[in-house]
Amino acid sequence: MIRTSANGPRTKRPNLFYPVYFFKDTGKYAGVGDPLPVDMPRDEAPVPDGCFAVFPIRRDGLEVSWALQTETFKMKIEKGYIKFGRWNPGDTNRAMAHLQTGTMNRIEKGEIQILGRDEEGTVILGETSKPKRPSSLWNMPSHDAGSKGKNILTAMLPYTDFAYPKSLYAVKDTIKFVVGNRPDAIIVDFFAGSGTTLHAVNLMNAEDGGHRRCIMITNNEVSADDVKNLSQQGLHPGDEGWENHGIARYITWPRTVCSIEGHDVNGTPLKGDYIGSDISMAEGFHANAAFFKLCFLDKTSVALGRQFRELLPVLWMKGGAIGRCPVLKNDELPEMLILPQNKMAVLIDEIYYSEFDAELSQHPEIQTVFIVTDSETAYRSMIRTYDGKECYQLYRDYLDNFRINTGR
């Protein structure tokens, strides 16, 4: 809401230099004052009891002006068209942003829906009734791969020389076109690279309160320079020293941890805020992450049920990756797994179907069911009452998904 143009200084637009009041105990909006005379210092402006005043001041201390006149400000406040940034107890400042005239007109025409209001009265906007296709060419400073890609990655991993990581904001804006109105979407990146996709998904969630999940896949390849250096050291693919220099372990996973926890690999808090929001990089994200190594399993061993432990993370992801990935506590396989925290259940020994069915009836929140049986007929019989649940026959469904069709 602060003017930054040539006519932005207070002396050029004195009618746009006025205080906005907030309560000291809650930080919530309390009102707006009259414009100050040019010769009145701002610290002499009247402030209501229990409030603090916010003026349009640049980071360098220059007094500038607001983008709105007081009457327009009051009108936008009343309609919920002004949004205030995050406030922490003790702060004496709050960022402000307002909807532009074009967006307001589209709301008035019904082209953009108002879904509700937040706790401070700001409108929550829904999907426009006239969606626009993104243009094929974007020219935005935040999409610069150097300052907004390479520099962000280097801030977390000072040792990296990863070439051309994408801009965090370019990836976020791209994903937002598809899942901006789908707060529970799952995003899969089959070529994860430096991990920008997951970083962008976490940032989206932090900005709009979403619970989107992201699955990243990378093959832990080693760069050409590292291959040469590691080979000279007598290391080979599969050696721990070699694998630790692969992209997954050396770049993707460390970046994931650092971005979520808000520090670099040495534990130093990250500096600055994310562009377009007042979210501090050092605050990190309210997010969880898990690292899995993708391996090949012998199909015969799978069919015989000898690799259930290795398959459990796959089943967990198939069920939506809800909650923490379950782990078997000992070497013995249980007859069944009832996992309400993961909204999934597995019948490992079909002899215990009656007990399994009884347990399942106590947990309506379970939405994904896996049945281990070789009999198609038995499988169909066991799931006949599980309407509305996603059911899978093991290990047939797993093997069918990964079987290569040889044409025979």
Q: In the structure, what pLDDT confidence band is assigned to residue 129 with cuts at 50, 70 and 90?
A: low
Q: What is the pLDDT of residues 350-401, one digit of tens each?
A: 999 999 999 999 999 999 999 999 899 999 999 999 999 999 998 776 656 5
Q: Kindly state the tokens that stand for 373.
A: 């049986």
What's the pLDDT score for residue 346? 95
pTM: 0.58
Summarize the confidence of residues 82-99 as an average pLDDT: 89
- CB-based contact 68:56 (threshold 8 Å): no
Q: State yes or no: pLDDT of 142 exceeds 60.
A: yes
Summarize the confidence of residues 141-151 as an average pLDDT: 91
Q: Kindly state the tokens that stand for 379.
A: 């499988």
Summarize the confidence of residues 221-229 as an average pLDDT: 80
Instruction: Report CA 23 to chain centroid distance, whole Å.
Output: 31
> Which amino acid is located at 346 in the chain?
V
Contacts of 42 (CB under 8 A, 6+ apart): 17, 19, 36, 53, 55, 63
Q: State yes or no: pLDDT of 121 exceeds 60.
A: yes
Sign of the alpha-carbon dihedral angle for 290, 295, 299, 302:
negative
Q: What angle do CA 153, 156, 161 make, to 5 degrees?
A: 50
Nearest to 344 by CA among 375, 374, 323: 323
What's the pLDDT score for residue 344? 96
Q: How far is the C-alpha of 248 from the C-alpha of 267, rounded, in Å?
A: 20
Residue 263 Cα distances to 89, 203, 255, 364, 404, angstroms:
23, 15, 10, 40, 44
Q: Kindly state the tokens that stand for 119.
A: 């706790």
Q: What is the pLDDT of residues 149-185, one digit of tens each?
A: 999 999 999 988 888 899 999 999 999 989 988 998 9
Q: How far apart are the first and last CA of the chain?
A: 68
Q: How far is the C-alpha of 202 from the C-alpha of 211, rounded, in Å?
A: 9
Q: In the structure, what pLDDT confidence band is assigned to residue 125 with cuts at 50, 70 and 90?
A: confident
What's the pLDDT score for residue 102? 82
Q: What is the pLDDT of residues 62-78, one digit of tens each?
A: 899 998 999 999 999 99
Q: How far is the C-alpha of 226 from the C-alpha of 271, rounded, in Å?
A: 30
Contacts of 308 (CB under 8 A, 6+ apart): 333, 348, 372
Summarize the confidence of residues 242-270 as an average pLDDT: 91
Q: 127: number of CA atoms within 13 Å, CB side?
A: 12
Q: How far is the C-alpha of 347 from the C-alpha of 356, rounded, in Å?
A: 7
Three-class DSSP labels, 325-380: CCCCCCCCCCCEEEEHHHCEEEECCHHHHHHHHHHHHCCCCCCEEEEECCCHHHHH
What's the pLDDT score for residue 408? 44
Lowest mean pLDDT among 151-165, 234-248, 276-290: 234-248
Residue 374 Cα distances to 139, 335, 380, angstroms:
57, 16, 11
Q: In the structure, what pLDDT confidence band is assigned to residue 6 with cuts at 50, 70 and 90?
A: low
Q: Kindly state the tokens that stand for 80.
A: 């919920």
